Amino acid sequence: QADIDISALALSPRRGGPKNLPILEYYIDDDDSEEMRRQKDKPRLVILGGGWGGVSLIKELDPDNYHVTVISPANYFLFTPMLPSATVGTLGLRSLVEPIRRIVHGIGGHFLRARAEDVDFSARLVEVSQVDCNGVEQRFYVPYDKLVIAVGSVTNPHGVKGLEHCHFLRDINDAREIRNKVIQNLELACLPTTTDEERKRLLSFVVCGGGPTGVEFAAELFDLLNEDLIQLFPRLLRNEISVHLIQSRDHILNTYDETLSKYAEDRFARDQVEVLTNSRVSEVRPDSIVFTQKDADGGIVTKELPMGFCLWSTGVSQNEFCRRLAKKLGSAQSNRRALETDTHLRLNGTPLGDVYAIGDCATVQNNVADHIVTFLRSLAWKHGSDPERLQLRFSDWRSVAEQVKRRFPQAVGHLRRLDKLFAEYDRDQSGTLDFGELRELLRQIDRKLTSLPATAQRAHQQGQYLARKFNKLARATPALRANDILDGDLDAAVYKAFEYKHLGSLAYIGNSAVFDLGKGWGLAGGLWAVYAWRSIYFAQSVSFRTRVMMAMDWAKRGLFGRDLMSY
């Protein structure tokens, strides 16, 4: 087969689609061999985004089943959990990235450095833009049989004025800019011509947002100031430098167990990182931050804090591309923060059911509770009882659950949780639950299953889930397709619904770390915890090359200190 290029990508002379643009096609040799026929039949899988979701999918996918094309404006995968360490030179920027081409090449796929602009769901075409060598934007279509949207998110501005004076921490370039700005402020503060007041402002570092990213950045910054800069900038007095963390809730790390957020707050208080809780930023000015703070009596006070550097890290929202798609899909998409999918991760409202959305750009909408309630109601009517007065005996639950499971395979997660709740309610399971209580329990479970965190952990699990399902779909026999499809739903026939498993959260808080293991379990500690935190991320790093580079960075930092040149 060496002389046959079976899957080269080429722009066909064909134009088409709603905008009459050129259409990118797989070139497949016109030879009539069995292999060629097999290649021609392979579905085209297009993945938008080369981040956590996209890469986990690629790594788990059986390369023989699909023609894969990955489209992303960034030609690297970024290992985000260690990005705060790169802002202060603890790790090098190149230690956190892996060329996406290398990953895609591993499965014989194609990579296009371009941006998805729109999707025509009926014609199965993604509209893509790319700036050519003359600086002119070119647009074309990429056809698909299956499309996966994994384009991540953007920082949530919360409607605050003046964010152009802030830095963000989402990408490798952001980390570079932050490092340069921190060092530039320190250099300026050292100049003999800088006044005392100006020096204080330059050395006032503010972080808006007390989630894991804001907290880890504040911790890394504190380490840098405390460990390296005091020696390198002897003219600067340590008490002239200040780090402030502004948080709208009453605790930092508020999604973690309360004892862990308290531990982090105490640690910051000891390290003189000022934590301003119950505080909302209303405006960012070129040299100060205006915020309101709730005082002990519930009154609101407006304050202004001089600043020389501000990081804005207050959660995520939808990017322009996803907003466009959500608008196009109309009432099927009612969430303003992310694209809604069903529990099989299929985008709600698409006509052909062949588009999936995963990671930060997506949220799973269940509505399974409503389906189960309607089903139970119909069962009750069938048996001549009034559903509103129905008393369901726990001992009968199993047979009801079996019927629900047959009707709604996507409800498995709900049923498992209900079983657990029943067991907690009533250990010998001889009591009863009325219909109203059951409905409320189901709704609670729905809400729990729907509000998944925007984390690498979730994007990774969803990417893996889709890859396993796609592998099964490709192997699904014609007999299965014909006979076993429930309600015409091939996805549900070949694979279970997606269920998120929370494996815990970690955060570095400055020469110590906290681990939230869920269900009230947590660990916090000093040096041992830092090494455990490093080891976990070291093991998860994307390639052997990045692991070696990370280990070398930590060794260099131990021997020579952090890299503090701005370039």
Among 69, 348, 457, 541, binds ligand FAD (CB under 6 A): 457
Question: Which among 130, 126, 157 is positioned nearest to 313, based on CA atoms?
Answer: 157
Min separation Cβ 356 and ligand FAD, Å: 12
Using the contact rule CB under 6 A, the part of the chain among 147-155, 281-289, 302-310, 554-562 near ligand FAD is 147-155
> Considering beta carbons, is residue 449 or 456 the nearer one to ligand FAD?
456
> Is residue 74 a contact point for ligand FAD (CB under 6 A)?
yes
Site string for ligand FAD, 157-196 (x = CB under 6 A): ------------xx--------------------------
> Considering beta carbons, is residue 112 or 418 the nearer one to ligand FAD?
112
Other CB atoms within 10 Å distance of the CB of residue 84: 27
Min separation Cβ 23 and ligand FAD, Å: 18
- Which residue number is nearest to ligand FAD in terms of Cβ? 51
> Is residue 73 a contact point for ligand FAD (CB under 6 A)?
yes
**Chain center to CA of 353:** 23
> Considering beta carbons, is residue 415 or 467 the nearer one to ligand FAD?
467
> Considering beta carbons, is residue 315 or 561 the nearer one to ligand FAD?
315
What span, in angstroms and rounded, lies between the C-alpha atoms of 404 and 408?
6
Provide the token pair at 524.
């916090």
Instruction: Report phi then psi at 114, rounded to 5.
Output: -160, 175
Question: Which among 133, 115, 305 is positioned nearest to 207, based on CA atoms?
Answer: 305
Residues between 310 and 369 that touch ligand FAD (CB under 6 A): 319, 321, 359-361
Site string for ligand FAD, 5-24 (x = CB under 6 A): --------------------
Beta-strand relationship, 362-364 and 339-341: parallel
Residues between 83 and 142 that touch ligand FAD (CB under 6 A): 83-84, 115-116
- Number of residues forming the site for ligand FAD (CB under 6 A): 34
Among 45, 369, 372, 456, binds ligand FAD (CB under 6 A): 456
> Considering beta carbons, is residue 292 or 319 the nearer one to ligand FAD?
319
> Is residue 209 a contact point for ligand FAD (CB under 6 A)?
no
The burial of 327, by beta-carbon neighbours within 10 Å (0-12 exposed, 13-18 middle, 19 or more buried), is given as exposed
In order of 186, 422, 429, 473, the CA distances from 416 in angstroms are 56, 10, 15, 25
Largest Cα–Cα separation, the chain? 90
What span, in angstroms and rounded, lies between the C-alpha atoms of 523 and 512?
11
Beta-strand relationship, 300-306 and 288-294: antiparallel
> Considering beta carbons, is residue 375 or 500 the nearer one to ligand FAD?
500
> Is residue 151 a contact point for ligand FAD (CB under 6 A)?
yes
CB within 8 A of 123, min separation 6: which ones?
16, 17, 18
What span, in angstroms and rounded, lies between the C-alpha atoms of 23 and 13?
8
Beta-strand relationship, 137-143 and 125-131: antiparallel
In a 3-state reduction of DSSP, which class is residue 211? coil
Min separation Cβ 152 and ligand FAD, Å: 3
Site string for ligand FAD, 30-69 (x = CB under 6 A): ------------------xxxxxxx---------------
Residues between 238 and 277 that touch ligand FAD (CB under 6 A): none
Helices (H), 451-543: 456-475, 478-483, 490-494, 527-540
Angle between helices 412-425 and 368-382 (to 10 degrees): 70
Residues between 213 and 232 that touch ligand FAD (CB under 6 A): 213
Site string for ligand FAD, 377-396 (x = CB under 6 A): --------------------
Beta-strand relationship, 242-246 and 391-393: unpaired
Contacts to ligand FAD by CB under 6 A: 48-54, 71-74, 80-81, 83-84, 115-116, 150-152, 169-170, 212-213, 319, 321, 359-361, 454-457, 459
